Amino acid sequence: MDAPAVDSLRRHFDVLADASLVDEPDRLRGLLVEADALIVRNRTQVTAALLDDAPRLSVVGRLGVGLDNIALGACRERGVQVFPATGANAAAVAEYVIATSLLLLRGAYLSSTAVAQGQWPRSALSNGREAAGGTMAVIGFGGIGRLVAQLARGIGMGVVGYDPQLPADAACWQETGTRGMSFDDALRAADVVTVHVPLVETTHNLLGPAQLKMLKPHAVLINTSRGGVIDENALADALRQGRLGGAALDVFADEPLKAGSPLAGVPNLILTPHIAGLTMQSNARVSSLVASRVMDALLA
C-alpha cells in the first residue's frame, strides 16, 4: 500500500503494514484475531476458514479489482464488507493492452538482442501490421474493457465486443463506438483479442483450443484478466505451431510460473508479472481509495 494511504489510516487506527504476511498465512491468522479490517492484494486468500479466525473483522479492502481471492459468500454470511478499488487501475491496464498490442503487431520487440549483437533482421521484421484499420475484440465489457475500447478507437482501430451480461441496446456500446456481437463472431473478426472478464466458474478456460482455432492466424491475444481464463497449454501449442501471431500474458494459472510451465520458451510471447494494473499513479489512486473506504466503514 502506498505510504501516504497507510499514514492516513494510522491517524485513526493501529495499523500493521507488513507485506511479508502474504507468505506467512499462519502468522496472519494469529494477528487477525484482533483485527477490525484486513487490506489485501491478489495473493492473500481470504477464505471462510480465515474469516472464522477473525471474530472482530468487519471490512476487507482489496488493493485491486479482481475478487477471485476473496470468499464473497462467506464474507456476506458474516456481515464482512468488501471494498475493491473499482476503476482506480483501469487506465494502467488499458495502456498496457494498447502497448502490448502494438508491440506484438509489429514484432519489433524481437529485434533488440539481435540488433545489439550486430545483426540486421530487417526483412524478417518487415511484415508487421498497423493497428489502425484493424479490429480489436474486447471480451468482457466492464470498466476496463470500455476504456480499452476508447483507447483502441483513438489509434484508428474498429472495436467489437462481447459481454453476455449487457443487452444489445446498452448505452456503453454506442458511447464507445463498439459493435456488440457473439463471442465466436468477435473472435473471428479480430486482429487483437483482449480479455477483461472476472475469473468465475463460467469464465474458467473461456479461451480453450476450440476458441483459439477461431482466431485469424496473425491475430494477437492479450490477457490481463486472470490466468485461469485462458488454457495455457492450448495457447502454447498455438504459438509454437504458428497458428497465432503472438500473445501477451500478465496473469497466469499459477503465479509465479512453476518450473516446467508450458509457456517457457514459447515464441512471440510477452510475459509480465501481474503488473498491468500497477503504476506509480494507479498505486496511489488504489491505495487512497481503499484507505478511505475502509476508514469510512470503520468510523461510521
246 three-class SS: strand
Does the annotation count 34 as an active-site position?
no
Task: Tell which phi-psi region holds residue 173, choosing left (phi > 0), alpha (psi between -120 and 50) or beta.
Answer: alpha
Q: Which three cell numbers stand for residue 173?
A: 456500446
Does the annotation count 255 as an active-site position?
yes
State the DSSP H helix or E strand holding residue 248, giving kind and residue range, or none if neither: strand 246-249
Q: Give 93 or 295: the residue with its C-beta nearer to ligand NAD.
A: 93
Q: Give 125 or 172: the residue with its C-beta nearer to ligand NAD.
A: 172
CB of 3 to ligand NAD, least distance (A): 21
In the block, cell 506484438 appears at 104
Q: What residue ranges bind ligand NAD (CB under 6 A)?
A: 64-66, 89, 93, 139-145, 162-165, 196-199, 202-203, 206, 224-226, 250-251, 274, 276-277
Question: Given 196, 274, 285, 293, which residue is catalytic?
Answer: 274
Q: Give 107 or 145: the residue with its C-beta nearer to ligand NAD.
A: 145
Q: Give 58 or 223: the residue with its C-beta nearer to ligand NAD.
A: 223
Q: Which three cell numbers stand for residue 203?
A: 469464465
CB of 86 to ligand NAD, least distance (A): 7
Lay out the sheet containing 135-139: strands in order across: 178-180, 158-162, 135-139, 192-195, 220-223, 246-249, 269-271
CB of 74 to ligand NAD, least distance (A): 19
Residue 21: how many CA atoms within 13 Å on its side-chain side?
Answer: 18
CB distance 197 to 183 below 8 Å: no
Question: Given 129, 146, 196, 226, which residue is catalytic?
Answer: 226
CB of 250 to ligand NAD, least distance (A): 5
- Using CB positions, name the residue nearest to ligand NAD: 142
Does the annotation count 226 as an active-site position?
yes
Active site residues: 226, 255, 274
